[in-house]
Amino acid sequence: MCCLFTILFLLGARAVDVVWWIAQPARWSAAFSSALWPILGIIFAPWTTMMWVLVSPGGVHGIDWLWIVLAVIVDVGFWSGGAYTNRDRMPGSSSQAA
């Protein structure tokens, strides 16, 4: 588990997902019924995918949904944060009044 935290810190959530999938394929098979969902999750929502694999093999109950929702918020924040930060780069969409 310490190695996963180091990879997360150095390379990010997608790298952790890939390494974790390689290291524990049985856990990922228990969390997902096909390989399509984890691949899409790693591409578009790596934090949510990571959290789903962490909580789903025992069944998602109670407080587990809170962790899933927090991971979704983090993923949405990554997608929308880039758009908000780069809004001034588009011609005609300046945030300052002209």
Each of the 98 residues of the chain gets a pLDDT tens digit; together they read 667 777 777 788 888 899 899 999 999 999 999 999 999 999 999 999 999 999 988 888 999 999 999 999 999 988 877 666 666 666 665 555 44
- Residues, the chain, total? 98
3-state secondary structure of 96: coil
> What pLDDT is stored for residue 82 in this prediction?
65
Dist. CA 13–CA 36, nearest whole Å:
18
CB 20 within 8 A of CB 4: yes
> What pLDDT is stored for residue 13 in this prediction?
85
Dist. CA 12–CA 33, nearest whole Å:
25
Please state the domain extents for the chain: 2-88
> What pLDDT is stored for residue 47 in this prediction?
93
> What pLDDT is stored for residue 46 in this prediction?
93
CB 57 within 8 A of CB 70: no
